């Protein structure tokens, strides 16, 4: 148990360090922004309506007070940390005065749901297929599916998504290509709503699964083909243990450990795939929110989403770190 506590402490410190570094980095970067939020709002308001030049001056003065961007660099940095710890990034400039946090909180469940499901499916399926392919080397079916999966591996996420969108939305329109759920449905735990969410999430999730499955397959297969030649496995085979048992208990279990570490390390990249997928399928997650924020020059929204995504990925990595000792007894023993 001692080893476990030490491990936990180390991982927790790492978690804190990631958040500290990441959030500071985000603040530093945005501090170089040339976008002036007051001018942005003024130009948004006067874009279409007839406005008296004198009136615009009054509007500008009033807005400068409302937004409140004052203080030195260091003061703003400290104020920023204060806001992050309170979860308050101020109002969104393109959706003034809705707070950025409520926009993020509305979008986060969609991204978390989509990512969790896709990553789990890709990881489990990829590892399963890879392990089978690595163990049963001569099986034709596995070889073919392996080739198919590997052919998908080099294709960028955007292209896979675009192909799926055109196939199932345009050429053979059976699945919805936009939105998170059917319109006018009240969100809740009703079967209808959940069914609609699944229906709308199929194409984005399929995209992410197809994008991710390749790398897990390849790494698992090479891991398993190495473990297969290990002494303990050869000994078990000679000893007459059934191949099903050898496969699951001797081979796959050991191969899962580095794959789990790999999962934690890959989460940063997976999030990027989600951004482009949400953009493509108009899925109401934080990725789409981020891109919209950039298109509309919404300084506070972009900063908020970036910070929250850093925190979210750090939390996900930490959770996986917590799961790891359950599978690897060596950690517990220190």
Q: Which of residues 279-308 bind other proteins (CB under 8 A)?
A: 279-282, 284, 288, 290-292, 294-297, 302-303, 305-306
Q: Contacts with other proteins in 120-179 (CB under 8 A)?
A: 128, 150-151, 153-159, 162, 165-166, 169-170, 173-174, 177-179
Q: Judged by CB under 8 A, which stretch of 23-31, 81-89, 231-239, 323-331 contacts other proteins?
A: 23-31
Question: Could you give the CA distance from residue 37 to residue 60 in angstroms, rounded to a whole number?
Answer: 11
Q: Judged by CB under 8 A, which stretch of 1-9, 78-86, 192-200, 326-334 contacts other proteins?
A: 192-200
224 near 146, Cβ under 8 Å? no
218 near 153, Cβ under 8 Å? yes
Question: Nearest 5°: CA angle at 177, between 216 and 212?
Answer: 5
Shortest Å distance, C-beta 2 to other proteins: 20
* Helix ranges restricted to H, 228-298: 231-239, 243-245, 253-281, 286-295
Residue 187 in contact with other proteins, rule: CB under 8 A: yes
> Is the Cβ of residue 203 or residue 236 nearer to other proteins in the bound state?
203
Q: Judged by CB under 8 A, which stretch of 55-63, 78-86, 252-260, 322-330 contacts other proteins?
A: 55-63
Q: Contacts with other proteins in 102-131 (CB under 8 A)?
A: 106-107, 110, 128
DSSP 249: I
> Is the Cβ of residue 1 or residue 186 nearer to other proteins in the bound state?
186
The phi-psi region of residue 248 (left if phi > 0; otherwise alpha if psi is between -120 and 50; otherwise beta) is alpha
Per-residue x/- track, 242-271, other proteins (CB under 8 A): ----------------------xx-xxx-x
Kindly list the distances between the CA atom of residue 58 and the CA atoms of 54, 64, 190, 201, in Å, as whole numbers in the listed order.
Answer: 7, 10, 50, 47
Contacts of 324 (CB under 8 A, 6+ apart): 257, 260, 261, 264, 331
Kindly list the distances between the CA atom of residue 69 and the CA atoms of 72, 76, 80, 253, in Å, as whole numbers in the listed order.
Answer: 10, 9, 11, 55
Shortest Å distance, C-beta 72 to other proteins: 19
Q: Judged by CB under 8 A, which stretch of 60-68, 69-77, 80-88, 139-147 contacts other proteins?
A: 60-68
Residue 188 in contact with other proteins, rule: CB under 8 A: no
Instruction: Choose which of 184, 189, 240, 330 interacts with other proteins (CB under 8 A).
Output: 184
> Is the Cβ of residue 47 or residue 72 nearer to other proteins in the bound state?
47
Determine how many CB atoms are found less than 10 A away from the CB of residue 243: 12
Number of residues that bind other proteins (CB under 8 A): 120
């Amino acid at each position: 148990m001692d080893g476990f506590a030490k491990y936990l402490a180390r991982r927790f410190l790492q978690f804190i360090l990631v958040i500290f570094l990441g959030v500071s980095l985000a603040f530093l970067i945005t501090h170089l922004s040339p976008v002036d939020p007051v001018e942005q709002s003024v130009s948004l308001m006067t874009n279409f309506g007839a406005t008296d030049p004198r009136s615009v001056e009054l509007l500008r003065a009033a807005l400068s007070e409302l937004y409140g961007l004052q203080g030195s660099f260091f003061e703003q940095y400290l104020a920023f940390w204060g806001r992050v710890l309170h979860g308050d990034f101020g109002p969104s400039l393109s959706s003034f005065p809705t707070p950025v946090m409520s926009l993020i909180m509305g979008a986060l469940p969609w991204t978390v749901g989509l990512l969790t499901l896709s990553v789990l499916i890709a990881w489990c399926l990829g590892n399963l297929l890879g392990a089978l392919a690595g163990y049963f080397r001569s099986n034709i079916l596995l070889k073919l599916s392996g080739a198919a999966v590997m052919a998908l591996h080099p294709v960028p996420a955007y292209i896979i998504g675009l192909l799926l969108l055109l196939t199932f939305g345009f050429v053979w329109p059976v699945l919805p290509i936009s939105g998170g759920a059917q319109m006018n449905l009240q969100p809740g735990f009703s079967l209808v709503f959940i069914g609609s969410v699944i229906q709308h999430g199929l194409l984005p999730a399929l995209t992410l699964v197809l994008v991710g499955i390749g790398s897990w397959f390849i790494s698992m297969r090479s891991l398993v083909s190495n473990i297969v030649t290990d002494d303990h496995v050869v000994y078990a085979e000679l000893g007459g243990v059934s191949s099903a048992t050898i496969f699951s208990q001797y081979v796959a279990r050991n191969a899962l450990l580095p794959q789990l570490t790999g999962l934690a390390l890959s989460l940063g990249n997976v999030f990027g795939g989600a951004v482009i997928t949400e953009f493509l399928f108009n899925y109401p997650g934080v990725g789409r929110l981020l891109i919209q924020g950039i298109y509309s020059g919404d300084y506070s929204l972009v900063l908020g989403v970036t910070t929250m995504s850093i925190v979210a990925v750090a939390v996900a990595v930490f959770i996986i770190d917590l799961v790891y000792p359950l599978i690897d007894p060596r950690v517990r023993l220190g």
